[in-house]
Amino acid sequence: MNATIGAPRQAPAGAEAVAPQRARRWSARLVPGDRMVWWAAGVVGLAGAVVLLVALLQPRELFLGSNSVAARADVVQIRPGVRMCVLRQRVPDGTGRIRFKIDSQTRAQPAYRVTVRPAGGPAISGRVAGSAAGFRSIDVPLERPLPDTARGFAFADICLTPSDTGGPVFAWGTNQLSDTDHPVRLGRHKDVPNRVALWFLPKTPQERSILGQLGTVFERASIFRPRFVGPWTFWLVLFGVFPFLCYAGVRLIARADEPRARRVPLPVWVALIGFGVAITWSFVTPAFPGYTSGHSTFSRAAAEVLTHFTGSPYVPDGLGEFHARAHEYLRSEDGPSVDVTLQWATWYDAADLAGQSRLWGGIHVSADDFMGRITGSEVGILAFDRAEQYFAGQVGP
């Protein structure tokens, strides 16, 4: 009796196999189907995760903001000693350096002086010595950073003056000027209808990883979404919903060859997962932003002017044509594949073709084309009426 009580208890027969069987059942539920698919997905996923993590952790130069202008071409020629002012720029709090893209060509870069005049505040100056010749980034440190404000930014005029030595330099930016932009001011009176690229940085160079700034990125991105969307939404979508959809897609592929009855057909599952991935990414990154087509607007305005000027909506001889030769006309690609002849009877037909070309090229959507036609029609009629008043002497100087 005592010996029986003191002896170690033995596990029931077959108990040793319960744990491995249970593990295999869970494994079969989590990664069912073809194991080669799961191995391939795991390798690709791991490699992608490593590349993404390295990119997210890599230190990068910290920018406080910019004026959202790309440096695509030289847009303003600045002569020695002449001041160039970029008016009413939104400058972030704490800005201690302002970066320009300037080309001095074969001459050495001169010294530069910058003055920032915030609205309602004292001016802040900065200087930088000359540097080597050519196209380069010019960082001008300010004598003190812009102070903190309740809004987080201040509207300011930013003026750059090269020294009197050397020849002209060329500031880079874009040639596009919207209705809300101010032209660049050269000297006291000359306005240049272009935009100069600007970047705003802290006074002391700093580096931060993208991963360390994700919170700020998500917070700013949520500003442009409906009110119920917050930074938490992006964390959930990127690190919850999207990985789940990837797992669901791999699981579907791994079980595609299983001979079993399905409640939901395989193509439907593929469509649902693909739709979910598309919705996820379009939520994080907005779809192509729509805006009024300039081609549609200007073409319809010209059609209205020509119709009023000639007294008829029809083109001369009643038919206009344009012939595009195969494999020669398009410059961006090899096309058209056959000779194409476009025809139109009225100015409006030709204007509509110009707007429709932007749809077929993937630059605009239909709403952009229609709004352009409506705006162009109104502008064209008003422009013609105004021109008649000038010719009739009904408008004073």
Which of 172, 207, 242 is at the close of a domain? Answer: 207
pLDDT band of residue 138 (cuts 50, 70, 90) is very high
Which of 166, 182, 207 is at the close of a domain? Answer: 207
Q: What is the pLDDT of residues 222-270, one digit of tens each?
A: 776 677 778 888 888 888 888 898 898 898 888 888 777 777 787 888 8
Helix, strand, coil percent content, the chain, rounded in steps of 5: 40, 20, 40
Residues 142 and 228 in one domain: no
Residues 166 and 256 in one domain: no
Residues 88 and 144 in one domain: yes
CB atoms within 10 A of CB 335: 14
Average pLDDT over residues 197-206: 93
Q: What is the pLDDT of residues 297-335, one digit of tens each?
A: 999 999 999 999 999 999 998 899 989 888 888 766 777
Residue 136 lies in a domain: yes
In the three-class reduction of DSSP (H, G, I as helix; E, B as strand; rest coil), residue 371 is classed as helix
Peptide bond into 336 cis (omega under 30): yes
Tell me which range, 22-26, 65-69, 105-109, 266-270, is most confidently predicted by mean pLDDT.
105-109
Residues 127 and 188 in one domain: yes
Residues 302 and 203 in one domain: no
Which DSSP letter does residue 32 get?
-
Residue 14 lies in a domain: no
Whether the per-residue pLDDT at 24 is higher than 80: the answer is: no
pLDDT band of residue 286 (cuts 50, 70, 90) is low
Residues 223 and 309 in one domain: no
Residue 77 lies in a domain: yes
pLDDT score for 18: 62
Residues 6+ apart with CB under 8 A from 335: 326, 327, 329
Residues 364 and 341 in one domain: yes
Residues 335 and 351 in one domain: yes
Can you tell me the distance from the alpha carbon of 168 to that of 78, in angstroms, rounded to the nearest whole number? 5
CB 109, CB 133: distance < 8 Å: yes
Q: What is the pLDDT of residues 73-84, one digit of tens each?
A: 889 999 999 999
Residues 240 and 370 in one domain: no
Phi, psi of 148 (to 5 degrees): -75, 140
| Sign of the CA dihedral with 89 first, then 94, 96, and 99 last | negative
Residues 115 and 249 in one domain: no
Residue 1 lies in a domain: no
Residue 5 lies in a domain: no
pLDDT score for 136: 92
Q: What range does the domain containing 319 cover? A: 294-391
| pLDDT greater at residue 13 or residue 212 | 212
Phi, psi of 383 (to 5 degrees): -65, -40
> In the chain, what is the greatest distance between 2 CA atoms, to the nearest angstrom?
128
Residues 114 and 185 in one domain: yes
| pLDDT greater at residue 336 or residue 261 | 336
Residues 198 and 76 in one domain: yes
Give residue for tokens 């739709």. 275
pLDDT score for 89: 92
* C-alpha closest to that of 200 among 257, 265, 261, 152: 152
* Domains identified in the chain, total number: 3
Which of 263, 287, 311 is at the close of a domain? Answer: 287
Positions of E strands within 175-293? 184-186, 190-192, 195-196, 199-201, 207-208
Residue 25 lies in a domain: no
Phi, psi of 224 (to 5 degrees): -95, 20
Residue 6 lies in a domain: no
Residue 379 lies in a domain: yes
CB 110, CB 80: distance < 8 Å: yes
Average pLDDT over residues 150-172: 91
Residues 6+ apart with CB under 8 A from 221: 231, 234, 284
Q: How many helices (H) and strands (E) does the chain have?
A: 10, 17
CATH number at residue 101: 2.60.120
Which DSSP letter does residue 131 get?
B
